[in-house]
C-alpha cells in the first residue's frame, strides 16, 4: 500500500526474528555451537601440520652412535628412556605453567592484529586505491596526449630505415 515495490517475504521470517518457534530454537542452538565452542580434536592437535618439520624431534634425531662406537646396550636404552620421558614431562610441565598465559598473550596479539587489519590497513589501502585511480586517469590522459604522438612520429621516422 503506497510502496513502489513490496519487500520480499521469506517463509521462515527474518533471520533475527523468525516467524516460527522451531526456527527460533534452531537459531538459539546455532548460537550455542559457534566458533568459540566448537569441538576440538584431542588426538590430532596439529591438523594443519604447522610443526611437522620444526619440533618433531625424537631421540634418534639428536643422539646417534655411529658404527664402531657403541655404548653398553643398557646405557643406550636408559638414555633413550631418559630423553623421551624428560622431553614428554617437561613439555607438559611448561605447557601447564605457561600454556594459558601464552594463549592469552597470543589471543590479545592476534585480536590487535585483526583489529588493525580490519579497521586501519584495509580502509587505508582502499582509500589509497580510490585516490590513486583519479591520479591514474590524469596520468593516462597526459601520456596519451603528449607521448603517443611523439612516439608515433619517432616510429614513422625510423620505419623507413632498412637494415
Q: Look-up: residue for cell 533471520?
A: 15
Q: What pLDDT, in 10s, does the model give residues 62-107? A: 888 889 888 999 999 999 999 999 999 999 999 999 999 999 999 9
Q: What does the pLDDT read at residue 19?
A: 56
Q: What does the pLDDT read at residue 108?
A: 98
Task: Give the domain extent around 83.
Answer: 53-160
Q: Does residue 95 belong to any structural domain of this protein?
A: yes
**What three-state secondary structure class fits 48?**
coil
- The tally of domains found in the chain comes to 1
Closest listed residue to residue 13, CA positions, set 1, 3, 21: 21
Q: For the chain, which residues score pLDDT lower than 50?
A: none
Q: Does residue 83 belong to any structural domain of this protein?
A: yes
Q: Does residue 1 belong to any structural domain of this protein?
A: no
Q: Does residue 27 belong to any structural domain of this protein?
A: no
Q: Does residue 84 belong to any structural domain of this protein?
A: yes
Amino acid at each position: 500500500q503506497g510502496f513502489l515495490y513490496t519487500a520480499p517475504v521469506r517463509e521462515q521470517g527474518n533471520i533475527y526474528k523468525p516467524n516460527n518457534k522451531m526456527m527460533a530454537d534452531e537459531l538459539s542452538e546455532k548460537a550455542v555451537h559457534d566458533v568459540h565452542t566448537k569441538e576440538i580434536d584431542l588426538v590430532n592437535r596439529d591438523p594443519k601440520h604447522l610443526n611437522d618439520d620444526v619440533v618433531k624431534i625424537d631421540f634418534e634425531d639428536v643422539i646417534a652412535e655411529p658404527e664402531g662406537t657403541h655404548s653398553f646396550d643398557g646405557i643406550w636404552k636408559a638414555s633413550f628412556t631418559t630423553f623421551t620421558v624428560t622431553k614428554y614431562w617437561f613439555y607438559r610441565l611448561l605447557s601447564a605453567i605457561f600454556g594459558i598465559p601464552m594463549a592469552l598473550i597470543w589471543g590479545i596479539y592476534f585480536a590487535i592484529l585483526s583489529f588493525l587489519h580490519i579497521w586501519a590497513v584495509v580502509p587505508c589501502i582502499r582509500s589509497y586505491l580510490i585516490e590513486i585511480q583519479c591520479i591514474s586517469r590524469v596520468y593516462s590522459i597526459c601520456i596519451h596526449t603528449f607521448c603517443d604522438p611523439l612516439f608515433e612520429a619517432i616510429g614513422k621516422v625510423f620505419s623507413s630505415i632498412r637494415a
